[in-house]
Structure 1
Amino acid sequence: MFHPTDRLGRLFEVTIIAKGLTGVVELIGGVLLLLVSPSMIDHWVVALTRAELSEDPSDFVARYLLRTADGLTGHAVLFGAAYLLAHGAVKVVLIVAILLNKQWAYPWMLVVLVVFVVYQLYRIMLSPSAGMIALTAFDLLIIALTWREWRHRRRQAAQP
């Protein structure tokens, strides 16, 4: 499928599969948001963070999860579910197509990732976070590797 002797080709394969797995997780999260009530999510988050907060009341991750779960309302849940389902579905479809070596998927993957990066940069400007910066850096790496792989595939296809 990919040129495994080439380290960057192998890195592309690994990163694209990782991106596909995050798409699957987003699909699952979107479905769960549609099926589980905000109060149930809040209950689960409280139960999951209780032990950590008893050890460290200022734990950043636990506090963030509690704030996020507490802010879930009907509209926020619906928006979150729609966003996760759309975002996850687009990623999964494009990545499966790339893994099947469908040439049309490479430029679409680049366009989608550029749109994600632009949105993420906007979010970083509003409220910088290490997670968003890391995600943006990962997406920029995938853009570079996808571009390289697409060029390699086009050269291969052009050879007699």
Structure 2
Amino acid sequence: MGRLRVTDWWERFFAVGIVLKGLDGVLELVVGTLLLFISPARIHELAVIVTQPELSEDPDDFIATHLLHTAAGVTGAAVVFTALYLLAHGIVKVVLVTALLLDKLWAYPWMIAVLVIFILYQLYQLTLTPSAGLIALTVFDILIVVLTWHEYGRHRHRRKLEGQS
């Protein structure tokens, strides 16, 4: 039974994190597309259906009450903005994750830059409306930046060595 080197762990964490980012991007594409075809009234109806079982057990359930409150405040313009926002995020994430999985060196600095922009925006949002979910997402994004930076350095070094041989 072989022992894993530290870089093997880095590579595994990086691969898992990048795949999760890619799945997040696909989910954003799906939700963004659905939002373009679902009316605000239907969104509120769906929120009621989804939260009803939980609220009947616990009328003060934090997630269910916030989901219902958010759905009630959705307007046509907000739906279109959210849909376009999610579609843009999703496209960027899916393209960059695909390029990283194909080992395209140019994608590493782009992924780092995009995530830093997301992190800055998330930190701004945290100053307005702190939430555990946003904190967790921000910490996850910071971890992905560190892992991407590490992998970028490894790949650049490997390619430099390959160029010398």
**TM-score, structure 2 length as denominator?**
0.93
Instruction: Tell me the distance in 2 between the aligned counterparts of 1:65 and 1:4.
Output: 41
Q: CA RMSD in A?
A: 1.3
1:136 corresponds to which letter in structure 2?
T
For 1:67-78, list aligned pairs within 5 A. 67-78=69-80
Alignment partner, residue 96 of structure 2 = 94
In the other structure, the counterpart of 2:39 is: 37
TM-fit CA distance, 1:48? 1.2
Task: Map 1:131-150; keep pairs closer than 5 Å.
Answer: 131-150=133-152
Moved over 6 A (4+): none
Work out which of the two has the higher radius of gyration on C-alpha atoms and give 1 or 2.
Answer: 2
Report the Cα distance in structure 2 between the residues aligned to 1:65 and 1:82, rounded to whole angstroms: 20
Identity of counterpart residues, as a percentage? 56
Aligned to 1:127: 129
Structure 2 unmatched runs, 5+: none
Per the normalisation by structure 1, the TM-score is 0.96
**3-state SS of 2:105 partner:** coil
Q: What is the number of residues matched between the two proteins?
A: 158
Gaps in structure 1 of 5+ consecutive residues: none
Partner Cα separation in structure 2 for residue 4 and residue 30 of structure 1: 38
Inter-partner Cα distance in structure 1 for 2:85 and 2:20: 19
Deviations 1:37-80 (A, max 9, x none): 11111111101111111110000111011011111101100110
Q: Which residue of 1 aligns with 2:118?
A: 116
Cα deviation digits, residues 86-120 of structure 1 (max 9, x gap): 00110000000000001110000000000000000
